[in-house]
Structure 1
Amino acid sequence: MSKKDNVATLILAYLNEKNRPYSAQDVFCNLQKQHGLGKTAVVKAMEVLALEGKIKEKTYGKQKIYFADQAQFKEVKDVDMKALDCQISELSEEVQSLNQICRQLDAEVKELSSSLTTEEMLSEIRELKAECAGCRARLEKIKSATNHVTPEEKEKVYKERDVYVKEWKKRKRLASDMINAILEGYPKSKKEFLDEAGVETDEDCKVVVPST
């Protein structure tokens, strides 16, 4: 059997097996990778098969469609068609069920993949235990210290702080008023005046007056 006959035999078997219309380009694309067929050989083989009456040919505009000769297939009775429809319906339901199971399994796989392994979990437990032990040690050290500040002393410190902050704001405001008064008759800018007078502001020292 020649190579040309082999190509024709392969294409004829393919069209009979699939039993659906194909163009020569379709057949070439479907068989080329597996069998290494050339497009020209496929086109010529299909034209010869059509001329020999082994396959059927239909022309739609500039495109030709080829399909198996239906006379070779047994006539399907209505009862057989209904049985096939039932089988298709059952298989469709089975496919849907399997797809749902696959989605559930995929979700479980993702969940398990994001979970810690036993070794990772044990390692994290050891780290947390060590951290807890350190916290307990610091707590015991704080509890055993003798230099605790009493609530009264703490309240006194806060009150003194408020007094100092209020005085700070008062003096800042007085200094600002005095500088503004001088600047009314000063021919240069405020920055130049402060530089000449050697005055450093809170802003220069990047200090912010605390809130009371």
Structure 2
Amino acid sequence: MSKGRAEAVAEACGILLRYLQEQNRPYSAQDVFGNLQREHGLGKAAVVKALDQLAQQGKIKEKMYGKQKIYFADQEQFDMVSDADLQVLDAKIVALTAKVQSLQQSCRHMEAELKELTSALTTPEMQKEIQELKKECAGYTERLKNIKAATNHVTPEEKEQEEVGIETDEDYNLKLPDP
């Protein structure tokens, strides 16, 4: 193994150990590779070798689940947490969860108000809309006036006869022969 590769494995070991201790949860080699690939550009083979090396050194623990290995930080390095501390943390979690829900509700309310305000017309737009409606109304008024002034109105009786289609002999000046 060249000196460059040894340094790369040592650097990868340091990165992986720090990552597992910060996260303090179990990961498979694939999960660690996926999470750290973009940040540090580590290859999968380097990640697997470094995790196995850390496990052999006793800095992290590994467990086999079927064919897959799970790696996690050694829990003995962390301080023991008392039940009282856990209860304090649980209370903080409940308080922060309530605060988050309150802020989310406030955010939704503000977004709805913003949407309402952005969809409302501005004063110049409203004035323009009023002018257009007045023009439209004037056009309808003029049309109504012309219709009322027309002299060839159809009476309701004539309209009904035309719709029904009733024709009389008198309409066509037809006379029946005498018997």
TM over 0.5: yes
Unaligned stretches of 5+ residues in structure 1: 169-212
Q: Which runs of structure 2 are paired with 1:61-210 in the superposition (5 Å)?
A: 61-141=66-146, 145=149, 148=151, 154=155, 158=158, 161=161, 165-167=165-167
TM-superposed CA distance for 1:58, in Å, is: 1.2
CA distance in 1, matches of 2:10, 2:165: 105
- Does 2:34 correspond to 1:29? yes
Q: Which has the higher contact order (CA 8 A, sep 6+)?
A: 2
Q: RMSD value over aligned CA atoms?
A: 2.9
Name the amino acid aligned to 1:6: E
Instruction: Specify the alignment match of 2:46 in structure 1.
Output: 41
TM-superposed CA distance for 1:127, in Å, is: 1.0
CA distance in 2, matches of 1:24, 1:64: 7
Partner SS, residue 165 of structure 2: helix
Return 70-79 or 129-138, whichever deviates more: 129-138
CA distance in 1, matches of 2:159, 2:49: 104
Instruction: Specify the alignment match of 1:183 in structure 2.
Output: none
| Number of residue pairs matched by the alignment | 162
Partner SS, residue 134 of structure 1: helix
Q: TM-score, normalised by structure 2?
A: 0.76
Q: TM-score, normalised by structure 1?
A: 0.65
Name the amino acid aligned to 1:154: T
User: Percent identity over the alignment?
Assistant: 56
Name the amino acid aligned to 1:81: L
Q: Which has more radius of gyration?
A: 1
CA distance in 2, matches of 1:13, 1:78: 27
Unaligned stretches of 5+ residues in structure 2: 1-5, 169-179
CA distance in 1, matches of 2:39, 2:129: 53
CA distance in 1, matches of 2:66, 2:144: 90
